[in-house]
Structures are given as C-alpha cells and as structure tokens.
Amino acid sequence: MWQQLLDRMLSRFMREGELGVDFPDGTSRRYGPGGGDAVRIAIADAATVRALCLNPDMGLGEGYMEGRITVEGDRLHALMVLLLRNRRRAGLPGWVRAATGARNRLAAWVARNTPERARANVAHHYDLSNEFYGLFLDSDLQYSCAYFPRPGLSLEEAQAAKKAHIAAKLRLERGLHVLDIGCGWGGMAITLARDYGVRVTGVTLSKNQLALAQERVAAAGLGDRVALRLVDYRRLTGPFDRIVSVGMFEHVGSAHYDEYFGQLERLLTDDGVALIHTIGRVQGAAMRAGWMQKYIFPGGYVPTLSDVARPVERTGMWLTDLEIWRLHYATTLAEWRARFEARLDRVRAMYDERFVRMWRYYLVACQATFEVDRQCVFQMQFAKRADAVPLARDYMVQAAARARHAAE
C-alpha cells in the first residue's frame, strides 16, 4: 500500500527533470518528464517507504542519515536541488501539507525558548568539539554567511569582508561600548576591539565556544577591551552604544520576537545603532523543517520580513537600513562542504558514519535551499533616532572599502 501511495505522490510531484527510484521489492520507476538533471536513489526497506509518505522531510533526512536511502554516484546535492525545484512547482499533496502545518503549529507552541531551553538548544549544536568546527570553517571560526563582494575571494577573505561590512554599518568610534549577542568563538569581538578601538561585551550560551573565545581574546592581548560571558541576552542591562548580532536571531523563536526587540531597545543608547544579521525567507510563511529541528537546530526558526516588522513597530525603533544578501550563503556553504569532505578522515576519527551522513545532509540541504528556495540573509540596522546614521548609504561603502584596503 505504502509503495503504491509513494508512487502516486512522486508521479504528481515530479514536474521537471527525472528521478529514478529503486524500491525495496526490486522494482524500479522513473518520474518526471526528463530533459533536465536525472538522479537515481535506492530505498532499502518498506519502513522507509512508509516514512516518506507520512513525513517526506523527516523520512528523506533520516533515511539518508541511516543509510536506508542511497543516492547513485553520491549526488546528494543534485537530488536536493531537483526535489526543491519540483516542490516549488508542484508542492506536496494536501494531506501532507496539512500534517506538516499541524506539526509546525505544535512545534511553535511547545518550543518556547525560555532561557533554560535556549541554553539546551545551543548546547545541542554548538557544544560539539571546537576541533570539529575548525575542520571546515575559516581560520577565524566565523559560523555564518560570508560576504563575496567580488568573484574569486577565498573563504577567509569573504569572512573578513563580512566583518568589515558590518563594522561600517555600526559607525564605530574609538571608545564606544559594543554588545555582541551570540559572540560565538569571539572573532567579531576581537576584530572590532583590535581594528576599531571599541570595548566589546560578548555573550553566548555555549560553554565550548566561550572557553575557546576567551583563550583567543587573551592571546590577542585584548583582555582589557573584550569581556565575554555565559549569559542569556534577556538578563543583560545596558546601555550599549552599539549592538551587533550575527547568526543568533535564527535561534530566538518567533514567539519571542517582541521580547527580543524590546530588549534591544532597552539596551541601546538613545543615539545608538544595532545591526542584526540573520537567515531569512523572502516569500511565504517560514516553515519549521522537522529533520533540521530534531537533529541540527532545535528551537530554530527562519523568519520572513513580515514576521519581524510588527514586533519592531511595537518598539518604536527605526529600521534605518535593510540589505538582502542573495546567494552569498550558498557560496559559503559550498566552501564549508568542500572543506568538510576534504577532511572526512579526521571527522570519522571523531564521530561515526551516521554523524558524517547527518552533517553532509545538513550542509547539502542548506546549500540547495539558498540556491533554489528563496532563502537569503537579512542585514537589518536599527536605531532609536532617525538621524542616528547618515541619511545616504554612501558611508557604509566608503567605510567598508577603507577597512578592506587597510586589511590588504
């Protein structure tokens, strides 16, 4: 029964390209009109067929991770691109969409990011070994979208360009006090203190990140200008002249947006500037992908601009600048994937094959989503006063160019 149902689902779903499927009973089928990319998968058992029918997102992710779904030629990226393109054209059956919507509503109700739950969620992902992240990130351990203003940049150069771009939007002056919410391994805090002469307070919920970040601050001789703490942003008191947050807003949870932006306003000085860098969606309601929630980012949520607009409006702050980065994260993820695959022997020395397949699936799925599924990065600049930043954007370009020139 389940194989027949999956056969009907795929027959309706595949509108472009070709998907070949080897079923566990030995039969094979081809779906789609052809004429584009062709990918072939093999399904090992009936339980996986059933899982794909009931919850395609979870069934595919778990099936690949556990080796019950294999992709011919290891062309996982081609498979994800093919499926995402067809999902945009055909969508999933109505009953699957209804079940997914119900699960999303339940997840939104259950997954309240209280300070205690937020710390557990962060530990799930970020308290893997620092050595592991060092295998595929750049030398500064920037675990967020890099900025590629021109072709041919290395990952290290693009991450440096990202930090310079953000610093330009913050309008930094020597002696200002900057809050870094979600400071990670300390790269942003060190760069701002060292290159711009500011004081930085950084907060994180990851013990592993904090320990290494503090070591890096000490090694850089910046202990008098950078203070890093293991504390939830909601428990801070200000004021701060500048606030920066890179790659943390995705973990706030939509139920807490009023709380987040209210705290942002309370922490910021009257003439202060804040810069939030986050993954976002430019179309449709942001969905909570079940596999990603369970295995990679529990409590995570990718917002649309409409999700953000009302909570910001209720604070009274100005959205003084909005920039949407297209495809920069796809390029970043491609760099991370290449480094991850090049160091598989070292990854396997740390973790088992299931972990390897889980992280490969995560990196590939994210890259494909940024390539074809209208996911992007929002950089949002906020201020309490309309004149807190210049009225024309030229200052950002000029300051970023000066920073790049000084670095080079």
Q: Enumerate the active-site residues.
A: 366
Burial (CB count <10 Å: 0-12, 13-18, 19+), residue 60:
buried
Q: From CA 108, how far away is CA 256, in angstroms rounded? A: 11
* CA torsion, ordered 333, 334, 336, 339, to nearest 10 deg: 170
Which H, E and C letters describe 226-279, residue by residue? EEEEECCHHHCCCCEEEEEEECCHHHCCHHHHHHHHHHHHHHEEEEEEEEEEEE
In the sheet with 177-181, reading across from the earlier edge strand, the strands are: 226-230, 199-204, 177-181, 240-246, 268-281, 375-383, 318-325
| Integer angstrom CA distances of residue 400 from 127, 140, 167, 393 | 33, 19, 8, 12
Q: From CA 257, how far away is CA 13, in angstroms rounded? A: 35
| Integer angstrom CA distances of residue 251 from 33, 97, 155, 171 | 40, 24, 24, 26
| Integer angstrom CA distances of residue 33 from 14, 30, 76, 193, 377 | 8, 9, 20, 57, 33
Q: From CA 400, how far away is CA 17, in angstroms rounded? A: 42
Cβ contact 267:239 at 8 Å: yes
Read off the amino acid at residue 236: L
Cβ contact 249:144 at 8 Å: no
Length of the chain, in residues: 408
